[in-house]
Chains A and B, each alone.
Chain A
Amino acid sequence: MSSVADAAAHGAERHHPDLVHHFESLPAQKEAATLGMWVFIAQEVMFFGGLFAAYTIYRHLYFHAFVQSSRHLNLPLGAINTAVLICSSLTMAMGVHASALGRRRATVAWLLLTVALGSVFLGIKAVEYKDKFEHHLVPGESFQAEELHLEGPAARPAQIFYSLYFAMTGLHAAHMVVGIPIILTIAWMAHRGRFSPEYHTPVEMTGLYWHFVDIIWIFLFPLLYLIGRHH
């Protein structure tokens, strides 16, 4: 890990076209990129963390309203989306693996498949959001809680549930909307032969990011869709 050891081993890599001037060797450069991506993921955890904290507190305070509100989320669609996203993580991992083996066409194919699955996820999300609009479950003046069979005061925290629903899934979706063009860019670079077994760091870093986005959903799904469903 130390640059002293790498300095000795860098002979062939000294002029590697992907080695930037301020790193001693490709492995050093890659380790830096990896550490950087993990630090970035740590801050993403804190970013979502504020919403998870708010969710935890309000679920404790208004459990009944949360249960009723959750019932009106589309469980089959949510479950399909979960499966879709997990599959997209699989295809992403296959893409990273292919790039490590230097298999250009396979890399591009797996990455494009990942984008396709991600787009399916976003499409299903759009369907769900539209459904919420139509049933007056979007917080604001038009919010109506009759459908939730919540009366009077218990209806008010339902707005809080739906505020958190939209904020958390919206933030998650925004991360996917950013991630998909990135994967497309990486796929294009792979298509152009940019990567090799020695250098495919951007693919790996994108993979880390995508897996993180997946993991966030894996927490969101049970917290939002599965409250009290075992009753």
Chain B
Amino acid sequence: MGAELPLFPVQASTMAGRVDALYAFLITVSVFFGLLIAVTLVSFAIRYRRRSRDERPQPIEGSVALEVAWSAIPLGIVMVIFLWGADLFFAMARVPPAPMEVYVVGKRWMWKTQHLGGQREINELHVPVGVPVKLTMTSEDVIHSFFVPAFRMKKDVVPGRYATAWFQATRAGTYHLFCAEYCGTKHSGMIGSVTVMEPAAFQAWLAGGATGTSLAAAGEKLFQDLACITCHRSDSEGRGPRLEGVFGQPVTLASGERVVADEAYVRESIVNPTAKVVAGFQPVMPTYQGLVNEEGLMQLVAYVKSLGGAATVGPGAALASPAPAAASPAPPPRPKGQGR
């Protein structure tokens, strides 16, 4: 690993080139104006250096035209930079449809990553080339930050909430993963690598690393162990809302507000159920905070996602599930009539 050019990290994602282009533009603008000022300043200082002690120069005090010019032109240039940077930022914020999902938990001082198929890694992440990968991340303790310079990607990982980021790798290789938010003693040791593989190699890796339980299956087990099914029945007779088909759809709350049932909504509903109560239901759900850790929460989220809803299953997700030949069951489709 390492950079071909000593000034830039390698470009290994769809965003990297775009970020480097903006960087190059800014360098050009900076060099231009920097040299302009430096050369002008030094040449004035030389050209107009004091030749006699009592020399009194011409008092040229101002120029409206110049003030307007050197306010308006920089303003125009920075507005271009602003729009360019904003456009790039929005592209980074918009997750492409049907990404491969990965769940990340940061804790002092390691990164724990989980694929939907149940493959777990510590301080490493294997992903395929050419597929958008969406990271859903949280921290178990303090704020960390997931930083992959080769992808030009960084996102703070905050306890108590989910942070989302995505990337699409464009070349195979192994790249640095750093924690970029100071988190205590071993902050500089909270590093690892992201390995990008060709699709076939990636499938092989997945099969080799399959634990036998996909994330959603583990979530289903938790769902049963914690007796969630007592209230969240699929026959609409339960005290809690039916969860099939909920994920990704808008939900109307008792307050009249409408929210989208995304990962953060599902997580919050488990740890802080009375925060957003669905219309037509009573706020009787107890909290599971302390009973489920962040990894367990991610498994439950994956399970609820697997129960159907908007854009939950697609080519990206399919890549992450273990190959049919493996001994593990595929992520459950709509389970009906299985003792619920």
Contact = CB atoms under 8 A, between A and B. Distances in A.
Interface in B260-293: 271-275, 286-287, 289
Nearest to A61: B275
A140 interface: no
A107 B149 CA distance: 71
Contacts of B287: 152-153
Interface residues on A, range: under 10
B282 to A, nearest CB: 12
Contacts of A62: 275
**For this complex, into which size category does the number of interface residues on chain B fall?**
under 10
Contacts, number: 18
A151 interface: yes
Contact of B271 (A64, A151, A153): A153
Interface in A152-180: 152-154, 156
A62 B268 CA distance: 13
Contacts of A64: 274
Interface in B61-97: none
A151 B282 CA distance: 14
B277 to A, nearest CB: 10
A119 B88 CA distance: 60
Interface in A73-111: none
A62 B275 CA distance: 8
A149 to B, nearest CB: 12
Nearest to B283: A154
Contacts of B274: 64, 151-154
Contacts of B273: 152-153
A154 B271 CA distance: 10
Interface in A56-77: 62, 64
B297 to A, nearest CB: 14
A152 B273 CA distance: 9
B266 to A, nearest CB: 15
A97 to B, nearest CB: 52
B278 to A, nearest CB: 16
Contacts of A152: 273-274, 286-287
B30 to A, nearest CB: 36
A153 B285 CA distance: 10
Interface string A139-156: 000000000000111101
Nearest to B271: A153
Nearest to B284: A151
B64 to A, nearest CB: 31
Nearest to A150: B274
Contacts of B275: 62, 153
> Of B271, B274, B286, which is in contact with the most chain A CB atoms at under 10 Å from its CB?
B274
A68 to B, nearest CB: 11
Nearest to B272: A153
Contacts of A151: 274, 286
Task: Output the residue of A62, A151, A153, A154 with the most chain B CB within 10 A.
Answer: A153
Contacts of B272: 153-154, 156
Contacts of A154: 272, 274
Nearest to A65: B274
Nearest to A155: B287
A62 B274 CA distance: 10
A54 to B, nearest CB: 16
Interface string B39-66: 0000000000000000000000000000
Nearest to B268: A153
Which residue, of B272, B273, B289, has the highest number of chain A Cβ atoms within 10 A? B272
A199 B310 CA distance: 76
B213 to A, nearest CB: 29
Nearest to A62: B275
Contacts of B289: 153
A100 to B, nearest CB: 49
A153 B275 CA distance: 8
Nearest to B270: A153
A228 to B, nearest CB: 14
A25 to B, nearest CB: 36
Interface of B: 271-275, 286-287, 289
18 contacts: A62-B275, A64-B274, A151-B274, A151-B286, A152-B273, A152-B274, A152-B286, A152-B287, A153-B271, A153-B272, A153-B273, A153-B274, A153-B275, A153-B287, A153-B289, A154-B272, A154-B274, A156-B272
Interface of A: 62, 64, 151-154, 156
A-B pairs with the 9 shortest C-beta distances? A153-B287, A152-B287, A153-B272, A154-B274, A152-B286, A153-B274, A153-B273, A153-B289, A153-B271
Given A154-B272, A156-B272, 5 more contacts: A64-B274, A153-B271, A153-B273, A153-B289, A154-B274
